[in-house]
Amino acid sequence: MQFMVRQRTKRLFIVQCAQTHSAGNLFKQKFQSLFVVRYFFMRLIKPVRTERAYRFDLIFYAVSPLSLGLLLYIYSPLESRAEILLLGLVGLVLWSLIEYLLHRFVLHGLPPFKRWHTQHHNQPMARICLPTALSMLLILLLVFLPSLCVFNIWQASSFTCGVLSGYAIYTHIHHATHHARQTNGWLARRQREHAIHHASHHFSLQPKERNFGVTNQFWDRLFHTAAH
Ligand SMILES: [Zn+2]
Ligand SMILES: [Zn+2]
CA of 181 to the centre of ligand 1 (A): 20
CA of 178 to the centre of ligand 1 (A): 13
pLDDT of residue 157: 96
CA of 130 to the centre of ligand 2 (A): 13
Q: Does the pLDDT value for residue 146 go beyond 60?
A: yes
pLDDT of residue 191: 93
DSSP H helices, 76-112, are 81-101
CA distances from 213 to 39, 97, 195, 218 (A): 33, 8, 12, 8
Domain count of the fold of the chain: 1
Please provide the size of the chain in residues. Answer: 228
Question: Region 185-214: what's the mean pLDDT?
Answer: 83
CA of 99 to the centre of ligand 2 (A): 13
Q: Does the pLDDT value for residue 84 go beyond 90?
A: yes
CA of 142 to the centre of ligand 2 (A): 24
Most confident among 5-19, 137-151, 184-198 (mean pLDDT) = 137-151
Q: Is residue 42 part of a domain?
A: no
pLDDT confidence tier of residue 209, bands split at 50, 70 and 90: confident
pLDDT of residue 36: 62
CA of 88 to the centre of ligand 2 (A): 27
Crossing angle of helices 186-203 and 153-179, rounded to 10°: 80
pLDDT of residue 49: 73
CA of 108 to the centre of ligand 1 (A): 6
Q: Does the pLDDT value for residue 166 go beyond 90?
A: yes
pLDDT of residue 192: 92
Q: Is residue 113 part of a domain?
A: yes
Q: Is residue 99 part of a domain?
A: yes
Q: Is residue 96 part of a domain?
A: yes
Least confident of 1-10, 100-109, 169-178, 205-214: 1-10
CA of 104 to the centre of ligand 1 (A): 7
CA of 177 to the centre of ligand 2 (A): 7
pLDDT of residue 220: 94
Q: What φ, ψ does residue 111 adopt, rounded to 5°?
A: -70, 150
Question: Region 148-165: what's the mean pLDDT?
Answer: 96
pLDDT of residue 139: 95
Amino acid occupying residue 49: R
Q: Is residue 31 part of a domain?
A: no
**Which ligand sits closest to the CA of 211?**
1
Q: Is residue 86 part of a domain?
A: yes
CA of 126 to the centre of ligand 2 (A): 10
Question: Region 92-120: what's the mean pLDDT?
Answer: 92
Q: Is residue 164 part of a domain?
A: yes
CA of 96 to the centre of ligand 1 (A): 15
Q: Does the pLDDT value for residue 73 go beyond 60?
A: yes
Q: Does the pLDDT value for residue 42 go beyond 80?
A: no
**Which ligand sits closest to the CA of 200?**
1
C-alpha span between 194 and 225 (Å, rounded): 12
pLDDT of residue 8: 64
Q: Is residue 45 part of a domain?
A: no
CA of 60 to the centre of ligand 2 (A): 20
User: What residue numbers bound the domain in which 113 lies?
Assistant: 51-222
C-alpha span between 170 and 99 (Å, rounded): 8
CA of 190 to the centre of ligand 1 (A): 14
CA of 102 to the centre of ligand 1 (A): 10
